[in-house]
Structure 1
Amino acid sequence: MTIKLGIVMDPIESINIKKDTSFAMMLEAQKRGYEIYYMQVNDLYIDNGEPRASVKQISLKEDPATFFKVNKELDINLGELSVLLMRKDPPVDSQFIYATHIFSLAQAQGTLVVNNPQALRDFNEKLFTSWYANYIPPTMVTAKKAQIKAFHKQHKDIIVKPLDGMGGTSIFRVKEDAVNLGVISEIITANETEHAMVQAYMPEIKLGDKRILLVDGEVIPYCLARLPTGTETRGNLAAGGRGEPQEVNEADMQVAQAIAKDMSEKGILFVGLDMIGNKVTEINITSPTCVREIEAAYPINICARLFDAIEKRL
């Protein structure tokens, strides 16, 4: 029986195939003979309790000019799919959450959803780290400006960031002089109406913000260190960081394995840990990236491991 793969992602026309992890996943699925159905969040809908979507059945090739072709357009019951990948980038806003409820309806009909829609609702990428407090830098989540000020007074040099951002957006560093701490606190908490995260600044960022991938509870032994460039304090590639593939060191491996052992039982098959030094700063489960950069540098097929895990569950 042909495996039918649905993938929910941002507009496919806008991706860079040399770096896009979703594209790598679809190539691996196509190599295995899957039928691939592409859709965006606004293509999802519910009809009298039935999870449905307007989809495009596509084929792909490694050609930047014509990397995908629409073979046909269909309207389907998501329960007809063998597996459904959620690859929509954050923010995890209300539309994202509504989509996970639609996925849960498909899941109830027998579709394997990766990652588990309940986990996508339960585990915010930044808040998820609080379940592993032994492995994170000094961290506070608060909506109160006074608490941010007190945290800064204690740690002197801090990072302030929103809970729903990605790619390094709206991340601020406040040094010991506390310049602009007041206005940053106002902006980041929307005048004490929204929670934000503050963390002690880690000088180890100069050695890279490391993306370590977990597949079905196993740690991929290679990672991508994202190094800040120029005067930047952010290593995110979207913020101009430079990617440097490297082997996962022993200290990071121990931390990653401690977290990885919990993922499979939660239905989380694909995870991107962000680590600075040997401290975890985020646990990404919505749409982890960096597969193509790692695969280009080392003899490993990460997507093959993912689809092996998926097929084991089908």
Structure 2
Amino acid sequence: MRIAFIADPLASFKIYKDSTFAMMEEASRRGHALYALQADDLYVAAGQVRAQVSPITLTGQADAWFVRGAPSDCALNEFDAVLMRKDPPFDAQYLYATHLLSLAESQGARVFNRGQALRDYNEKLAILKFPEWTAPTLVSQQPAILRAFVAEQGDTILKPLDSMGGDGIFRVSPHDPNLSVILETMTERGQRTIMAQRYLPEIVDGDKRVLLIDGEPVPYCLARIPQPGETRGNLAAGGRGEARPLTARDRAIAEALGPRLKAEGLLLVGLDVIGERLTEVNVTSPTCFREIMDQTGCNVAGLLLDALERQCVA
């Protein structure tokens, strides 16, 4: 197969932990041809979605890990699969890219995850589709409504709707002397919508990333355990990753959501679970492949390529 990866600049990859690199490595091992582009390479001419795309070859070295060939102008439907792996933020430019991906799909391109699904499943707001699995949650841009929720719930997490890696997250309480300024700042004085969730003390045991591939759960999750004195377990915020078998509750959540997410066009999803509660549905560029693979021997990248081959080589 010819597989095109839409990703952040390759030179920025930390390949010892990068999930997109793990996918590339497995695809290359299977003899598939790899191509790379960035979202800002996409364009439309004469109604067709095209891009400047470069072939890449993996070298097996830690530093100069790839060799880039001469770029060429291609239609996205010339590839057997297009993997959208650009990291958030999900800003206006990202949104425009998903529209171009949807247009490319109408022209025969196979895009994973689908553009429409990326638009429909905001990584924070998507949990609102599954309230039976979540902690008490409020979404609002009005500081007064948010303050009332904090007063009702007590210990509360506030988070922006468009970031990743734990950026911009606050833990507050009704008596926090900075609560007013935090709410004013996060909502831009009532102009920006944010999410508030009851704080889950089980975070001390890890914020678990449960991966779904083609609707089926990977048998291991990665518990991201906060540093002492830290609320966030995100690896980008200094959390420690510990691979574990899924609990019965993890599996129940995954099996309940998996068929619906698959039907929506989501090949790869990362569910975030704290204790027994779903907190996020990550669809843009779910990670934690490498940590699970290194600690358990479970070939997560192989499971993804199996699913990709089923869909594209049928």
| TM-score of the two chains, using structure 1 as the length reference | 0.97
Aligned residues of 1:27 and 1:61 also touching (Cα < 8 A): no
SS for the counterpart of 1:16 is coil
Q: Which of residues 65, 68, 83 is equivalent to 1:70?
A: 68
Alpha-carbon separation, structure 1, partners of 2:120 and 2:249? 28
Work out whether residues 209 and 225 of structure 1, in 8 Å CA contact, stay in contact via their aligned partners in 2. yes
The corresponding residue for 1:112 is: 110
Aligned partner of residue 188 in structure 2, secondary structure: coil
Q: 2:58 corresponds to which residue?
A: 60
- CA-based RMSD of the aligned residues comes to 1.0
Question: Which of these residues, 189, 197, 200, is aligned with residue 199 of structure 1?
Answer: 197
Residue 29 of structure 2, aligned match among 28, 31, 39: 31
Q: Which amino acid aligns with 1:227?
A: I
**Amino acid in the other structure paired with 2:93:** Q
Superposition deviation, residue 37 in structure 1: 1.1
Report Cα offsets for 1:270-308 as digits up to 9, x if no partner. Answer: 000001001011000000000000000112111221122
Task: Give the corresponding residue for 1:290.
Answer: 288
Counterpart of 1:54, as a letter, is Q
Q: How far is the alpha carbon of 1:194 from its aligned partner?
A: 1.2
Give yes or no for contact 1:229–1:240 (8 Å, CA) kept in 2.
yes
Where 2:146 maps in the other structure, the secondary structure is: helix
- Quick one: distance in 2 between partners of 1:304 and 1:138? 36
Tell me if structure 2 keeps the 8 A contact 1:138–1:199: yes
SS of 2:149's partner is: helix
Q: Which moved more, 1:200-209 or 1:171-180?
A: 171-180
Q: Distance in 2 between matches of 1:235 and 1:280?
A: 15
Shift of 1:129: 0.3
Shift of the alpha carbon at 1:136?
A: 0.6
Q: Which runs of 5+ in 1 are unaligned?
A: none
Cα displacement string for residues 241-276 of structure 1 (whole angstroms, at most 9, x for unaligned residues): 111111111121111211112121111010000010
Quote the residue 1:83 is aligned against. Answer: 81
1:35-184, aligned counterparts within 5 Å?
Answer: 35-184=33-182
Gaps of 5+ in 2: none
Report deviation, 1:204: 0.4
What is the deviation of 1:176?
4.3
1:6-47 alpha-carbon deviations (Å, 9 max, x no partner): 111111101111100000111111112211110111111111
Q: Normalised by the size of structure 2, how large is the TM-score?
A: 0.97
CA contact (8 A) 2:77 2:110 kept: no
Match of 1:258 in 2: 256
1:306 aligns with 2:304: yes
Alignment counterpart, residue 241 of structure 1, candidates 239, 242, 246: 239
Amino acid at match of 1:212: V
Q: Which amino acid aligns with 2:138?
A: M
Deviation of 1:71 after TM superposition, in Å, equals 2.3
Deviation at residue 177 of structure 1 after TM alignment: 2.1
1:220 Cα offset (Å): 0.6
Given that 1:58 and 1:72 are in contact with CA atoms closer than 8 Å, whether structure 2 keeps it comes out as no
Mapped pair 1:228 → 2:226: yes
Percentage identity across paired residues of the two chains: 46
SS of equivalent to 2:35: strand
Structure-1 separation of matches of 2:100 and 2:92: 13
Shift of 1:178: 2.2
Checking the alignment, whether the CA contact within 8 Å between 2:48 and 2:75 is kept in structure 1 is yes
Residue range with higher mean Cα deviation, 76-85 or 176-185: 176-185
Please identify, of 254-263 and 194-203, the stretch whose mean Cα deviation from structure 2 is larger. Answer: 254-263
